[in-house]
Each structure stands twice: as structure tokens, then as C-alpha cells.
């Protein structure tokens, strides 16, 4: 196995990213503050800040002075450097979110899609429409943002888990194979990545990843997956497919999953799986027949407030048991310091689920693999996929201008 050697350029790149992470967390900080937080020397911080100022990535915010010594200049990310767009291509929608270059959200637009359609043109057109709509809603000094304002576009395209003759569990696979079509439709610098890598990136930049080097972000929604970070680095796998934990086995010969297998984790803790659990317990319960998944999860969360129907309480208990058992397997393999739950199911049900999930993990995880594990709902809210993929697009832009050496998996 070849050993990758870190050059002085790589070390300087890492220092720049450390400073950017610290500024993003603080909002505004002096050079001395940045040195204290990052552990870098004052001289290194001064050099890094000079590079970032020259590139227009950071800007001086204000000068503060005391009675003694020189005034202190505070710094912040330069949100006016340009616009970054994150596009979340999900099972039933394409959502584009426009951020400024300080990664503050400005506007978003959503296009509804049909998960049974994964034709190249269909998906590429939805991406382009969502992008244009979001830019139109994003104002730059009173005027809508244009493509000239965009530094980069990140597109989250899941794919790769469906079997022949099954509905694609993650739509679509097609655009991965037709980047030329995407390039033609979008006409802007782009990165394409997997949503699990996107949520892990969002957690690294904005959430628990700031405090933990080995962690897992579990995404709960229609689909289920895990973004895995080991020693501060996102685990990608040989073909960028690491983290498809939702399609690992929970129950031998169990429920049929959308991917075609029997007994997948997703078939029990995905939104449809939770509704199926309720239907098995109380088929006559009105929530068992709610047609829309998000509507079902929202109604379930509201109905769990005391006094809750016994069938709903049992549904939650079983879901926590399934989820806790599946997370215990992750602990046995990865041994993380921290697990965060994200996605619209986690945000709706997380407060109800976490205590029971934590107990189940401690019961099921082998040895001491979960003895010091923290489990909580992610503090990264909004669309964490769009936020994460936009962050990856920003990293690509920083690489394009020579400030970092991060290797973006699919930059086009």
C-alpha cells in the first residue's frame, strides 16, 4: 500500500482550513483568537490570514482597542466574495440552496420529482430549474443573483443500491454517468458527491465534527444512511460508496426493502418502515393510512405528546429498538466517539427516540465499543445535504484558486 506523503503545501492547506473552520465557528475573531483555538503559532496564523485576505476569502471586520497596546483587528469570512449553490437531489424532490461565500443561506427553491423517473434529461432539467429559481430568489444588493455571481455548484447525487427491476432507492444513478450533460445544463464549476459525504461534511464544518475526530452522522428520512468520519477524514470507500448502512442487514428474511433485499435497516427505520411498524401494530389507526411520508412523521411526532395512543408509543419503542440495534453494529465496526441523528425524521422524532436508542446501543454494542459514546440530534439544521455539498463546492473553489489542496472526488 502506497504511503501518501504530505508536502509543505499540504500542511499550509490544512492550516488554512483550520483557520477557516475556526472563523466559521466564531463568526468573528482576531488573529490571536485564531491561534489559541487552532493551536497554530502566531506566525503561521499571520501568514495564513494574509493568504486568505489576498484571496478575498476573509475580510477585516473591525478594529478594537484598549488603553494599552496596539488596536486589535478582528476578521470574518467575506460573504460578498460570491455565491455557492448546494443542490440536494432526493427521491421526491430537487432542492437548490444559495449561500453566500461565508456559507450563510440566502434562498432556496424546490422542484417536485417522481422517484420512478431517473431519465438523464428529466433529472438534469430539474436540477437546472431549481438552480435558476433559487438564484432568482437570492438578492445581491437588491438584484437577483446571476450565474456570474456563482463561485461553484455542489450537486448531491445518491446512487448505486438498487437491484434490477426495483425502483431506484436513491434517484438517480444516471447523472453520475453523464457528467457532460450536467456540465452543459449547468454551465458552472461543479462538484458531484454522495449525500452521505455531504452530511458528514456539514457535521465537520458546522456541528459535532468541530469537537470529535471520529463520528458518525446517521441520516433518517425516506432513505437511511451514515456519513462516517474517522480521525477527521470522511470515509469514502473504494468507489465512494461507504456509508450505505441503511442497506445492511437488520433482520434475516425480514421486510422487503426498496433496494430489493429483505431485512435492510431502512425497511425498519426509514419513514415508510416506521409507518409499516404502526400498521402491523394497529392497522386501523388513521396514521397508518397517511399517504405522504413527511406528513406521517410530522403527525406521529405531534401525536406522541402525552397522552399518546398505546399503539404510537409501541411504534416508537420498536423503532428505537431497531435503530439502536443497527447503531450498535456501527459501533462494533467503527467505534466512534459521537453519533448524531439528522434528517427530517430525526428532527421530528429525535427527542423521543434518543433516550431509548442510547439504552439499546449500550445493551447491544459489544465490549466497550459504546461505553463512552455520545448520541444526540444534530445541531446542523435546515437541509444538511445542501449545506454539506455547498461546503464541498467551496472547498473546490478554494482549490481552484490555489488556497487548499483538498482533492474533491468529482469536480467538473
The pLDDT value recorded for residue 142 is 66
Bond before 6 cis per omega within 30 degrees: no
Look-up of cell digits 488573529: 31
Whether 141 has a pLDDT exceeding 80, the answer reads no
Q: Which residues are 155's β-sheet partners?
A: 87, 192
- Which tens digit of pLDDT belongs to each residue from 193-208? 889 999 999 999 899 8
Confidence of residue 150 (pLDDT cuts 50, 70, 90): very high
The domains found in the chain, sorted by start residue, are: 8-77 (1.10.10.10), 82-199+385-400 (3.30.420.40), 208-379 (3.30.420.40)
Q: Which residues are 215's β-sheet partners?
A: 229, 338
Following DSSP, what letter does each residue of 202-233 receive, concatenated? HHHHHSGGGT-SSEEEEEESSSEEEEEEETTE
- Residue 230: phi and psi, rounded to 5, are -120, 125
Distance CA 209, CA 376 (A): 13
Output the average pLDDT for the chain: 87
The rounded percent of the chain whose pLDDT value lies above 70 is 89
The pLDDT value recorded for residue 113 is 85
The pLDDT value recorded for residue 166 is 43
Residues 325-337: what's their mean pLDDT? 95
DSSP state of 264: B
Confidence of residue 163 (pLDDT cuts 50, 70, 90): very low
Whether 9 has a pLDDT exceeding 90, the answer reads no
Look-up of cell digits 419513514: 271
Pull the grid cell for residue 101.
461565500
The pLDDT value recorded for residue 346 is 96
Following DSSP, what letter does each residue of 99-156 receive, concatenated? EETT--EEEEEEEE--TT---HHHHHHHHHHHHHHHHHH-EETTEE--GGGEEEEEEE
Residues 72-92: what's their mean pLDDT? 90
Whether 62 has a pLDDT exceeding 70, the answer reads yes
Residues 229-235: what's their mean pLDDT? 90
- Residue 290: phi and psi, rounded to 5, are -65, 125
Residues 236-254: what's their mean pLDDT? 91
State how far the alpha carbon of 317 is from the alpha carbons of 269, 304, 312, 323, 378, in Å. Answer: 12, 11, 9, 10, 21
**350: nearest Cα among 323, 329, 383, 369:** 323
The pLDDT value recorded for residue 157 is 84
Note the Cα 384 to chain centre separation in Å.
4
Confidence of residue 168 (pLDDT cuts 50, 70, 90): very low
Inter-helix orientation angle 120-137/179-186, to 10°: 30
Whether 279 has a pLDDT exceeding 90, the answer reads yes
Whether 33 has a pLDDT exceeding 50, the answer reads yes
pTM for the whole structure: 0.85
The pLDDT value recorded for residue 270 is 96
Confidence of residue 67 (pLDDT cuts 50, 70, 90): low
Whether 159 has a pLDDT exceeding 80, the answer reads no
List all residues 6 or more positions away from 405 whose beta carbon is below 8 Å from its beta carbon.
9, 10, 13, 399
Confidence of residue 178 (pLDDT cuts 50, 70, 90): low
- Residue 381: phi and psi, rounded to 5, are -105, -170
Say if strands 224-230 and 150-156 run parallel, antiparallel, or are unpaired: unpaired
Confidence of residue 160 (pLDDT cuts 50, 70, 90): very low
Residues 254-265: what's their mean pLDDT? 94
Residues 277-281: what's their mean pLDDT? 97
Amino acid at each position: 500500500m502506497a504511503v501518501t506523503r504530505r508536502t509543505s503545501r499540504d500542511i499550509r492547506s490544512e492550516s488554512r482550513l483550520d483557520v477557516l473552520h475556526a472563523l466559521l465557528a466564531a463568526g468573528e475573531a482576531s488573529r490571536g483568537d485564531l491561534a489559541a483555538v487552532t493551536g497554530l503559532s502566531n506566525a503561521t496564523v499571520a501568514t495564513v490570514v494574509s493568504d486568505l485576505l489576498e484571496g478575498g476569502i476573509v475580510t477585516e471586520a473591525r478594529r478594537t482597542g484598549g488603553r494599552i497596546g496596539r488596536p486589535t483587528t478582528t476578521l470574518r469570512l467575506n460573504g460578498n466574495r460570491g455565491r455557492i449553490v448546494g443542490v440536494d437531489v432526493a427521491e421526491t424532490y430537487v432542492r437548490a440552496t444559495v449561500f453566500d461565500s461565508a456559507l450563510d443561506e440566502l434562498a432556496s427553491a424546490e422542484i417536485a420529482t417522481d422517484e420512478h423517473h431517473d431519465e438523464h434529461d428529466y433529472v438534469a432539467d430539474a436540477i437546472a430549474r431549481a438552480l435558476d429559481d433559487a438564484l432568482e430568489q437570492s438578492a445581491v444588493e437588491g438584484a437577483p443573483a446571476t450565474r456570474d455571481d456563482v463561485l461553484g455548484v455542489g450537486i448531491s447525487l445518491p446512487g448505486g443500491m438498487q437491484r434490477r427491476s426495483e425502483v431506484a432507492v436513491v434517484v438517480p444513478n444516471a447523472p453520475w454517468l453523464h457528467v457532460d450533460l450536467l456540465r452543459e445544463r449547468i454551465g458552472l464549476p461543479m462538484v458531484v458527491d454522495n449525500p452521505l459525504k455531504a452530511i458528514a461534511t456539514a457535521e465537520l464544518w458546522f456541528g459535532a465534527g468541530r469537537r470529535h475526530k471520529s463520528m458518525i452522522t446517521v441520516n433518517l428520512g425516506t432513505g437511511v444512511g451514515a456519513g462516517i468520519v474517522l480521525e477527521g477524514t470522511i470515509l469514502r470507500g473504494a468507489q465512494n460508496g461507504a456509508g450505505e448502512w441503511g442497506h445492511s442487514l437488520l433482520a434475516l428474511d425480514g421486510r422487503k426493502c426498496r433496494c430489493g433485499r429483505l431485512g435492510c435497516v431502512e425497511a425498519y427505520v426509514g419513514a415508510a418502515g416506521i409507518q409499516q411498524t404502526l400498521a402491523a401494530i394497529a392497522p386501523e389507526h388513521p396514521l397508518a393510512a397517511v399517504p405522504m411520508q413527511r406528513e406521517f412523521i410530522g403527525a406521529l411526532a405531534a401525536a406522541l405528546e402525552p397522552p399518546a395512543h398505546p399503539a404510537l408509543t409501541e411504534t416508537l419503542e420498536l423503532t428505537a429498538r431497531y435503530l439502536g440495534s443497527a447503531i450498535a453494529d456501527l459501533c462494533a465496526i467503527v467505534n466512534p466517539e459521537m453519533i448524531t441523528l439528522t434528517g427530517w425524521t430525526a428532527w421530528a422524532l429525535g427527542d423521543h427516540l434518543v433516550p431509548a436508542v442510547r439504552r439499546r446501543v449500550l445493551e447491544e454494542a459489544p465490549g466497550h465499543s459504546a461505553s463512552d459514546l455520545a448520541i444526540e440530534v444534530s445541531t446542523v439544521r435546515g437541509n444538511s445535504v445542501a449545506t454539506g455539498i455547498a461546503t464541498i463546492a467551496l472547498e473546490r473553489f478554494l482549490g481552484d484558486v490555489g488556497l487548499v489542496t483538498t482533492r474533491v472526488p468529482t469536480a467538473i
